[in-house]
Amino acid sequence: MFDVKIIKGWLWDVAEITALVAAISILMSVLFGPNVPFFGNVVSNLQPLLQAIGEGGIAAIIAILVIVAIYARR
């Protein structure tokens, strides 16, 4: 039977890899423009998300801070 700590570790590893891929995608899109294969439209896809966060106001900012605090605690 799997231990919860093992599964939790796997999930954190997946989250870290996903965050790194997202950061690299944004960097590649900013540096080389929207025509980069695989990384091209990342910035344009993030714009609606950032607008939604802006419309959500303080609740969204608090939620993001909680997620970052949990992530930093690891």
When divided into structural domains, the chain yields a total of 1
DSSP, residue by residue, 18-53: HHHHHHHHHHHHHHH-TTSTTTTTHHHHHHHHHHHH
Find, among 40, 14, 47, the residue nearest to 26 by Cα: 40
> Do 10 and 16 form a contact (C-beta atoms < 8 A)?
no
Q: pLDDT by residue (tens digit) across 27-41?
A: 777 777 777 777 667
Name, of 5-9, 49-53, 61-65, the range with top average pLDDT: 5-9
Print the domain residue range for 29: 4-73
pTM listed for this prediction: 0.56
The mean pLDDT value for 43-53 works out to 74
Task: Check: CB of residue 40 under 8 Å from CB of residue 25.
Answer: no
